[in-house]
Amino acid sequence: MFIFYRNTRILIGLLIGVCLLPGNALAKIFDPDTFTLKNGMQVVVITNHRAPVVRHMVWYKVGSADEAPGESGIAHLLEHLMFKGTDNQGPGEFSAAVARNGGQENAFTSYDHTAYFQTIAKDRLEMVMRMEADRMTHLLITPKQVAPERNVVLEERRMRVDNNPSAQLREQVNAALYLNYPYRRPVIGWEHEIKALNVDRILSFYKRHYAPNNAVLIVEGDITAAELKPLAEKYYGVIPRGPDIVRTRTVEPPAVADRRLVLENERVTQPGWSRRYLAPSYHYGDTKHAYALQVLAEIIGGGPSSRLHKKLVVDDAVALSAGAFYDPSDIGPSVFGFYAVPKPGVEMSKIEAMVMREVDRVLKEGVTDREVAGAIDRMRNNAILAKDDFGSAAQEVGAALTSGGTIDEVENWVLEIEKVTPDSTLAAAKDVLQGTHSVTAELLPKPQS
């Protein structure tokens, strides 16, 4: 039985890039082939002959951040309804066929994209292409189907968010952090707006966004571009082009005040602290800092060798964990943040002061050549190792192509990371962490009355 993760914002950690051979000779890891069908659909083939298996993915350039005001959750609900059948397939027939042929399938919605994928034997690829192409244009949904599926989503929201204090706090943090940008709305949607979604609104959204020229087909595995191209043309190439869509997004105004959120709940068994700053991404704001910020996150809080882990977890033993996070792959403004989980009996104020002391030390003293070199080395090694994770290539390329990126940017990630210096790291730190305004969040157990 397959679990369909439908409320997932994919946090792309390391964009898979290239590895460096001795003598700095450049060798691309994925080296994908790409072509475009006459109707505008981009096709990417990532050949990997290790096993007679393929992963077939269709990515749509639409996510929850593309929803109209008052329609939060419509992209996610449509993802559910895509499994309800077409004029040619009965409800659940797609999933049953994939399972019957030994495959696995899944789907997810994020802020910037929606994707559907199947992992299956190569000789079953044509079957899933035929079915996936069919539901791109022939989705059949009725009020009788929408009502129960809407209830499924509402129950999912109750289970994943309303009954989960950390998820509740995260939702409130996003609403406070983004003053105007649509990332302030939850991917799953607000409850009252989910309840208002009906067949007409959903079908209008589907007809506008689900078209070949607004999609990317990616196939990874035991197949070549020469083998895939006739199949892509046969099943996807015959679909009429849809309307050209310009993804118009709002602009985030500058914040003028720090914000602090505290959530106390009887379900909290482990307190936590975090602080977030809006930061540039690959596509928004002062983009020149995107690569240096990744190195900065690795140095301050990227793992056991990071400053925060060594200081709070190892040396002073006041925290169970501590680190930093940053993901530059968003279309809109990204987030640079810190977190810490205190040991029992340690005051949250002490944890906050210690984290910010390390941050201030970076802003005043910068980082060393050795720290930058070590961070780049670890990031390069992680990128090289990730190529052995089947499906990672399709995931990384798809996320990039549906968020304003290019294949070259994915392939050349390591080259860009290797250009980062202590000076550029300090400049990025000052740009994001100095003179800007943050959102601090505390998750606490509710005091006994």
Contact status, residue 114 vs residue 5, Cβ threshold 8 Å: no
User: Does residue 230 sit in helix, strand or coil?
Assistant: helix
Tokens of 50: 């290790």
Alpha-carbon distances of 149 from 66, 77, 110, 113, 141, rounded to whole Å: 21, 8, 19, 21, 11
Strands 53-60 and 18-21: unpaired
Which residue matches tokens 């209008």?
Answer: 204
Residue 24 Rama label (left phi>0; alpha psi -120 to 50; beta): left
Q: Dihedrals φ, ψ of 22, to 5°? A: -50, 140
Which residue matches tokens 């709305």?
Answer: 185
Calpha distance 105→127 (Å, rounded): 13
Which residue matches tokens 């997810």?
Answer: 108
Calpha distance 33→357 (Å, rounded): 48
Alpha-carbon distances of 316 from 271, 284, 313, 351, 352, rounded to whole Å: 18, 38, 6, 11, 14
Choose, from 67, 71, 79, 149, the residue flagged as catalytic.
79
Calpha distance 167→143 (Å, rounded): 30
Tokens of 338: 């810190």
347 is catalytic: no
Strands 259-265 and 438-445: parallel
Calpha distance 145→136 (Å, rounded): 18
Active-site residue list: 79
